[in-house]
C-alpha cells in the first residue's frame, strides 16, 4: 500500500531566507534535509511524499526539485510562483515546468496583510497562467478567511483548488489531488 504524506518541508537557511526560522523555532532552526525526516516517515509507514514550499522565494523553491531528484520517495513538489506578477510568473512557470516533479503552486496568504489578495485581478492573471500550465494551485487560510460564498464560481478554469487550510498537490500521473492538513508554513 502506498501512503503519501502530502505536506513535507525541507529548508536550507544557507541558500534561502526563511522569515519564520529563528531561535524561537529551535530545534528546527537549522538546515532540514529530506534525510532528516526519512526515519520518522518510515516509522509512520509513509512510503511517498510531496514537498511543499517553506518560504516565498525562488531559492527555497529551487531546493525542492533538487531534493526530489535525489530521493525517489518524493513524488511531487508544490512550488512558489509570484502570482501577483504575471510577467515573472510566466517566466518562473516556464522554468519549473521543465521538472516533472513540479505539480502545483502554493500561495502563503495567511502571512499576507491584504485579506483580499487572492481576489485581486493581478493574482487572477497568475492563476490563469497556472491553469494554462496544468498546475494545481494551493493556498493557506488567511487569519480571517472569507466565507466560501466569496469564491463560489470564481476561477472556473483552475483545476483542483484548495482555498482552505488544506494543501493540494497532484502528481501528473494521479487522477485526483492528494490533500492533507496545512500546518501554516
pLDDT for position 42: 94
Cα 90 to Cα 102: distance, rounded to the nearest angstrom: 15
Residue 82: phi and psi, rounded to 5, are -75, 90
CATH classification at residue 136: 3.20.20.140
Cα 79 to Cα 60: distance, rounded to the nearest angstrom: 9
Q: How many domains does the chain have?
A: 1
List the domain range (segments joined by +) for residue 38. Answer: 4-181
The pLDDT tens digits for 72-114 are 999 999 999 999 999 999 999 999 999 999 999 998 877 788 8
Helix (H, G, I), strand (E, B) or coil at 23: helix
Q: Indicate the pTM of the whole model.
A: 0.77
183 C-beta neighbours (distance < 10 Å), count = 11
CA distances in angstroms from 116 to 62, 112, 122, 123, listed in the order given: 28, 9, 12, 10
CA distances in angstroms from 102 to 22, 121, 131, 180, listed in the order given: 28, 25, 14, 18
Q: Which helix (H) or strand (E) holds 107?
A: strand 102-107
Tens of pLDDT along the chain (185 residues) come to: 899 999 999 999 999 999 999 999 998 999 999 999 999 999 999 999 999 999 999 999 999 999 999 999 999 999 999 999 999 999 999 999 999 999 999 988 777 888 778 888 898 899 899 989 999 888 776 656 665 455 555 554 444 444 433 333 333 333 333 333 333 33
Amino acid at each position: 500500500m502506498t501512503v503519501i504524506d502530502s505536506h513535507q518541508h525541507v529548508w536550507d537557511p544557507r541558500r534561502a531566507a526563511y522569515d519564520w526560522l529563528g531561535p524561537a523555532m529551535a530545534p528546527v532552526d537549522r538546515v532540514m534535509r529530506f534525510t532528516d525526516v526519512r526515519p520518522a516517515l518510515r516509522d509512520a509507514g509513509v512510503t511517498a511524499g510531496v514537498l511543499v514550499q517553506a518560504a516565498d522565494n525562488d531559492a527555497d523553491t529551487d531546493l525542492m526539485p533538487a531534493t526530489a531528484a535525489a530521493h525517489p520517495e518524493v513524488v511531487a513538489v508544490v512550488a512558489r510562483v509570484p502570482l501577483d506578477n504575471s510577467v515573472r510568473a510566466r517566466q518562473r512557470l516556464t522554468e519549473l515546468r521543465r521538472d516533472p516533479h513540479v505539480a502545483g503552486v502554493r500561495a502563503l496568504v495567511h502571512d499576507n496583510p491584504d485579506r483580499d489578495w487572492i481576489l485581486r485581478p493581478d493574482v487572477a492573471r497568475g492563476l490563469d497562467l497556472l491553469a494554462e500550465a496544468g498546475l494545481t494551485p494551493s493556498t493557506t487560510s488567511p487569519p480571517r478567511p472569507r466565507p466560501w460564498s466569496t469564491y463560489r464560481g470564481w476561477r472556473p478554469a483552475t483545476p483542483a483548488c484548495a482555498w482552505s487550510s488544506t494543501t493540494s498537490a497532484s502528481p501528473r500521473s494521479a487522477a485526483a489531488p492528494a490533500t492533507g492538513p496545512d500546518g501554516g508554513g
